[in-house]
Structure 1
Amino acid sequence: MATDDLMTKVLEALGDAQPTVEAIHDLTDLAEVPSSMTIAEVADRLALPAHTLRYYERAGLVTVARDSQGHRVYDADAVRRLVFLTRMRLSGMSMRELQHYIELVDAGERTVPERMAMLVEHRDTIVRRLRELTLSLAAVDYKITTYGGATGSDVERSPSREAAA
């Protein structure tokens, strides 16, 4: 599933709820993660294709054990890490940045200050993107109103958008 598809799924799951840290956390209830899961179960739980999970493993972002037949067995820690990785990818963090971040995590507690700095910088980037998108939304709303249309919650949905909603 592409990042755009995953973002669409997350936004649909949120519904009208404000995307708070708690709302995002609730999307994947980690309290009920089984002690071991197959790749198909993890893919289904995280709405990701198995290909993406294998890619993250090859990229060194997650370590996955194998059973006696050689099949992947994901433990709760691997699933938690994958949840974090998907959230960071949704927010625009690059694979290279994620790989560096995971290297720091795997290096231990002494890297917490550098990890914090990375996350603060990434947060600043997200805030800037939000401001840019808000400005772009205002420009689109302005243009819609110049054509006599309505914006915001007053917008009537077209039949094709109504069916998709």
Structure 2
Amino acid sequence: MTISDTAKRLGLSPHTLRYYEKIGLIRDVERASGRRVYTDRDLIWLEFVLRLKATGMGLARIKRYADLRYEGDETVPERKAMLLSHRQDLESAIARLKSNLVALDHKIELYEAMEKEHDAL
């Protein structure tokens, strides 16, 4: 898949894909006639990178994870630990968001009651 097709599929710009390659998040991208050709394996990896970003993992930590991934299977315990830590961070963030949602719902209910009281007058 070309860089343009890959970028479109992932919702990124070609510049972002080149940047990810430059910083080492993705390595060994195949070339055909000097142009990048992304494989299904590249897409799966990039989708996972985007999922880590979407869940709040910073680029530096993603880079560390990528480095470990490229070092091989002996880094599985460290990668697993990183993901477990990130999962715990994500669970905490979800709990905070749920708490905030409850507070917003309470305020909305209060305003709805106030509107009903106002309309009854």
- Residue 127 of structure 1: which of 87, 91, 94 is its match? 91
> Where does 1:108-127 land on structure 2 (aligned, <5 Å)?
108-127=72-91
Superposed CA offset, 1:46-98 (max 9, x none) = 12222221121111000222222x22111122111101101111111111001
Please say if 1:61 is aligned against 2:21.
Answer: no
Point out the more displaced range, 116-125 or 42-51.
Answer: 42-51
Superposed CA offset, 1:22-54 (max 9, x none) = xxxxxxxxxxxxxxx001111121122222211
Partner of 1:161: none
Please say if 1:41 is aligned against 2:10.
Answer: no
Return the TM-score normalized by structure 1: 0.65
- 4+ runs of 1 displaced by more than 6 Å? none
Partner of 2:117: none
Query: Matched residues in 2 for 1:141 and 1:49: separation?
Result: 38
Partner of 1:100: 64
Unaligned runs of 5+ in 1: 1-36, 150-165
Letter in 2 for 1:130: I
Letter in 2 for 1:52: T
Equivalent residue of 1:48, what SS? Answer: coil
Asked which structure has the greater CA Rg, the reply is 2
Partner of 2:55: 91
Larger % of helix: which? 2
Equivalent residue of 2:112, what SS? Answer: coil
Unaligned runs of 5+ in 2: 114-121
Query: Matched residues in 1 for 2:112 and 2:44: separation?
Result: 48
